[in-house]
Amino acid sequence: MSKKSGLSFYPGVIYAPLLFVFSLWVVYWAEIRFGWRFTTYGIYPQKVEGLRGVLFGPFIHSGLQHLFNNSIPLFVLSAALFYFYRDIKWKVLLGGLLLTGIITWAIGRPSYHIGASGIVYLLASFLFFKGIFSKQYQLTALSLVVVFLYGSLLWYVFPIDEKISWEGHLSGFLVGLVFAIFFKENHIPEKKYEWQREDYNPEDDEFLKHFDEDGNFIETRNEIEAEIEIETEAEAELDPETEAEIEKKLTKINYYFRENRNDDTSN
């Protein structure tokens, strides 16, 4: 099915987000199983070696709760991205990952920034603003779902907890907004009726063939004319005595009288 054929499910909607989330758990399992610590591979702002965290940081988490909190929204939001924006999904996901990491490296505090929460904010921001800007009811509905599920994430783009990388959250949020503005094309083709097509010919329209030049419905007009002809023929076959009897019945007036009772009451 082509990209412009509308919304439809395909295996990548589930497999790609699932593989992404699975890779996070594999990295965390390796840390626990072999006693490795990958924290130093996170983003460390304003240091050249800290740039490696742009690629590796999203796959590293500080603990099980941190990993779990990122896994579910990452899967849900990336699946929505792959379903509704299949033609730009990799541009948003990979390009957003790089830009989010670079901005975090530029504005972050001197500490290791790890975790996929920046990607979560990127996806939530993009899906929300893109749906609003598109003015298509399917994408607008998706925006409302994102707000309902993850609207509370907005608070964490501010420095309300020193243990949380609000710089990474803010970076993802801003990149998602920029991408929503940059990718202007509506990715769900609008349905066009036959009469809206450029090659539309009214003479070939089966519906319009039921009307005459004056806009009268041909079948209805023919039925009325047929009924009139039948009635005319029926009247022509009547003899004078029968016609007189019919006229007598049509002009007959019946009067009914009721005895007036004084004890009747009305409300």
- Residue 63, Cβ neighbours under 10 Å: how many? 9
Mean pLDDT is lowest, of 69-83, 161-175, 237-251, for 237-251
SS3 assignment, position 217: strand
> Tell me: the pLDDT tens digits for 123-137?
999 999 999 998 888
Residue 86 and residue 44 in contact, taking contact as beta carbons nearer than 8 Å: no
Reported as type and span, the H/E element at residue 237 is: helix 218-237
Burial 241-267 (b: 16+ CB within 10 A, else e): eeeeeeeeeeeeeeeeeeeeeeeeeee
Tokens of 125: 């921001």
**Predicted model pTM:** 0.71
Q: What is the pLDDT of residue 193?
A: 55
CATH topology of domain 3-182: Rhomboid-like fold (1.20.1540)
| Mean per-residue pLDDT, 13-34 | 96
pLDDT bracket for residue 219 (50, 70, 90):
low
| Mean per-residue pLDDT, 43-56 | 96
Q: What is the pLDDT of residue 63?
A: 93
Residue 163 above 70 pLDDT? yes
* Percentage, residues of the chain above pLDDT 90: 59
Q: Where are the domains of the chain?
A: 3-182, 202-250
